[in-house]
Amino acid sequence: MGELHIKNHFVPECYLKNWEDENSEIHIYRLLVTHYNVPMWQAKPISSIAYQKHLYTQVIDGNESDDFERWLDKEYETPATKVLEKAILEKRLTAEDWSKLINFLAVQDVRTPSRLYEHLDRGSDSMESSLESSLSELKKRLENTSLVEPNESDKKYNDLSSIPLKVTIEHSQDGRGSIVKAETYVGRNSWIYSMKYLLKNTSKVLHRHKWSIVKPAKGYKWLTSDNPVIKLNFRNFQDYHLKSGWGIKKGNIFFPISPEYAMFVQIGDRPIQKGTRLSIENTLFFRKIICENANRFIFSSFRDEAVKKLNPRKINKDQYLFEKKEFEAWHKRNKSYETDFN
């Protein structure tokens, strides 16, 4: 299997390299800093940015595993690398090329810390509802059949293809009934399960759209961020939101793939002509929402001084240290859960 990949890049290097400058570095604008003296921009090599240790590591059969990281690389990143190069060189893209690009977009939408936070925020309610529904259905079935004692593997069931779940059956002392107990948790395993489900099933809707690759107005460059796939619901330049979805009619999906090119679709409409340059007004708007959609980092091929007005950084040492501490505890906390549920 080789060395365990513990530096999990939630924005892959094969993507970020398109923003490298002449020194093979990317310019980084932080949206949360500890002090006003922190430089507005920092230049760093792509290997040192947009990653979190053990973000996707899982404990499987008692051992730490990077299977999910390797799966993302094999199925999505590696197939898309050459296609990204073709798109940037304005070479003709085949149907297979487009399929790989769309799959790459889907991966990049689901794997970021922004989507992790969404999963954690809504996960408890959705998990509880799912468990209650399942147990209610199980109760109905058991009322009309005999109850078979599960073996050890049934009592503590969990694998990569399922929600983390532990089921136990406790018989009453009088022998007249039993209690079925189901336990789960919201964390790394449930997030990875959710990502796999979205990529294997829900993402099919993205392949039905009519995609284009668009350029910014002359004199402008696309930025990108640690949350680079934008799902836009647009009424006008003042009335819009960035919480749209993959299949909402008239919704827009926008994904910069280099400073000069971006994937774009207006769902339900015909594609824009290949190589179209957007107007200055539209270019400025999309640059604005790229910055607004970012979580903690904006990336550029140069020190783009307009960014500080598009999304002013926040100075809050306590929040910065809290987030840093939470990510440092991420692996230890989830490792404990995963060991218990294995």
* Mean pLDDT (whole number) for 95-103: 98
Pick the closest to residue 194 from 226, 161, 218 (CA basis): 161
10 pLDDT higher than 70:
yes
Tokens linked to 215: 């350029």
Cβ contacts of 125 within 8 Å, gap of 6 or more:
none
Amino acid at 83: V
* Mean pLDDT (whole number) for 297-319: 97
How far is residue 112 from each of residues 12, 37, 143, 191, measured CA to CA in Å?
10, 28, 44, 11
Q: What is the pLDDT of residues 218-234, one digit of tens each?
A: 999 999 999 999 999 99
Note whether 261 and 222 are within 8 A (CB).
Answer: yes
CB atoms within 10 A of CB 75: 16
172 pLDDT higher than 90:
no
pLDDT at 98: 98
Q: Classify 271 as helix, strand or coil.
A: coil
Torsion of CA 224, 68, 57, 150, to 10 degrees: 140
pLDDT at 184: 77
Which pLDDT band, with edges at 50, 70 and 90, does 161 fall under?
Answer: very low
Which pLDDT band, with edges at 50, 70 and 90, does 179 fall under?
Answer: confident
Q: What is the pLDDT of residues 20-41, one digit of tens each?
A: 999 999 999 999 999 999 999 9
Q: Per this entry, what is the length of the chain?
A: 342
How far is residue 218 from each of residues 53, 279, 337, measured CA to CA in Å?
39, 9, 52
Q: Measure the CA–CA gap between 337 and 59, rounded to whole angstroms.
A: 9
176 pLDDT higher than 80:
no
202 pLDDT higher than 80:
yes
* Mean pLDDT (whole number) for 97-119: 97
State the average pLDDT for the chain.
89
Tokens linked to 315: 């100075």
Where are the strands (E) in 195-292, listed by range? 212-214, 224-225, 230-234, 240-241, 252-256, 262-266
Which pLDDT band, with edges at 50, 70 and 90, does 244 fall under?
Answer: very high
Each residue of 220-232: b (16+ CB within 10 Å) or e? bbbbbbbbbbbbb
Q: Classify 229 as helix, strand or coil.
A: coil
Amino acid at 148: V
* Share above pLDDT 90 across residues of the chain, in percent, rounded to a whole number: 76
**What is the widest separation between alpha-carbon atoms in the chain?**
80
pLDDT at 144: 61
* Mean pLDDT (whole number) for 314-330: 96
Reported pTM:
0.87
Cβ contacts of 269 within 8 Å, gap of 6 or more:
210, 250
Residue spans of the domains in the chain: they are: 7-119+196-341, 124-183
